[in-house]
Amino acid sequence: QADLGNLLLRGQGEQQDSVRTREWFEKAAESGDAIGAFNYGVCLAEGVGIDKDEAKALIWLRKSADTILNAQYWYGRMLMEGRGAEAQPEEGRSWVAKAAEVGMVDAQILLGECLLTGRGGSKDHAEALVLFRKAADQGHAGAMFAVGAMLGGGHEVEPDRPEAQKWFQAAADKGHAYAQ
């Protein structure tokens, strides 16, 4: 069921598959299953097998966020973006930080961006660089580019242009257009 749900989120499958999968997730969520709650929340947020309902999605994502890593990221991101409720950047950032702490690459990148801009809290360019490096070390081309940009100068960290060039080259090799 989870595999089918993932295929549907990528735009594959038939409409009847979307409805059936959403129904499975909804039943699992209503029975108290945290993974089902997360998957049902994603269905609601993305309109898979049901009309989009971001407010309801937030409710189900919150029910799963204490135990499901991906739910922490989704819930936090939606709060930061004001999807389903008024934007709550501070609370959203704290949820994204939980997912980043345990190594979720997308969460590391989003938290790094927050630390660069001050979204949802204070700025900390040095910590943003740490997070971007962690994501870059896991092969994320955008994070590689961000490390290069930060080390290139102007980001409240010590510039290191040879190291920046190394990261730009790594990002370019992975197809990152700006790095190229």
pLDDT tens, position by position, 71-100: 999 999 999 999 999 999 999 999 999 999
Residue 50 neighbours by CB distance under 10 Å: 18
Burial class (CB in 10 A: 0-12, 13-18, 19+), 101: middle
pTM above the 0.85 mark?
yes
What does the pLDDT look like over 131-175, one tens digit per residue? 999 999 999 999 999 999 999 998 999 999 999 999 999 999 999
Euclidean distance between CA atoms 99 and 108, whole angstroms: 8
